[in-house]
């Protein structure tokens, strides 16, 4: 059975399910002779929201994971000794992170 999904340009789809299970779950397997065995006519349409989410996902994937300029500035500050570490702020940020992680469990 071929599944055609419109709205996903450049992506292939794989049918990993068992088509007999789908037919049995519907309870009407074989009752529609035009769709039995021919594999034609099944389509899925994406809403404009889904299409927008896909384009946003693609844009996010193209962004760098690390801010290279900030890394370079931090390296320079560490190398020259001009980087100031605020232990109170560091401790507060660490506690905030730990509390957020503890809430997720």
Assess whether 79 and 57 both reside in one domain: no
Domain boundaries, position 23: 4-62
Assess whether 11 and 53 both reside in one domain: yes
Instruction: Report the 10 Å Cβ neighbour count for 35.
Output: 14
Instruction: Report the 10 Å Cβ neighbour count for 85.
Output: 7
Assess whether 41 and 76 both reside in one domain: no
- The 10s digit of each residue's pLDDT in 29-67 is 444 444 445 566 888 887 889 889 999 999 999 988 899
Assess whether 77 and 53 both reside in one domain: no
Assess whether 57 and 76 both reside in one domain: no
**pLDDT for 15 beyond 60:** no
Assess whether 87 and 56 both reside in one domain: no
- The chain-wide mean pLDDT, for the chain, equals 76
Assess whether 18 and 50 both reside in one domain: yes
Assess whether 73 and 54 both reside in one domain: no
Assess whether 10 and 57 both reside in one domain: yes
Secondary structure E strands in the chain = 4-6, 43-45
What is the model's pLDDT at position 105?
76
Instruction: Report the 10 Å Cβ neighbour count for 12.
Output: 6
Assess whether 74 and 47 both reside in one domain: no
What is the number of structural domains in the chain? 2
**pLDDT for 24 beyond 50:** no
Contact yes or no for 6/43 (Cβ under 8 A): yes
Higher pLDDT, 54 or 2: 54
């Amino acid at each position: 059975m071929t599944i055609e999904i419109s709205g996903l340009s450049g992506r292939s789809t794989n049918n990993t399910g068992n088509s007999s299970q789908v037919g049995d779950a519907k309870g009407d397997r074989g009752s529609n002779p035009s769709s039995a065995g021919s594999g034609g006519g099944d389509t899925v349409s994406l809403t404009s929201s889904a299409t927008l989410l896909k384009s946003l996902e693609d844009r996010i994937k193209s962004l760098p994971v690390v801010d290279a300029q900030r890394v370079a500035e931090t390296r320079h500050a560490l190398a020259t000794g001009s980087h100031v570490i605020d232990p109170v702020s560091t401790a507060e940020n660490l506690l905030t992170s730990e509390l957020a992680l503890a809430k997720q469990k």
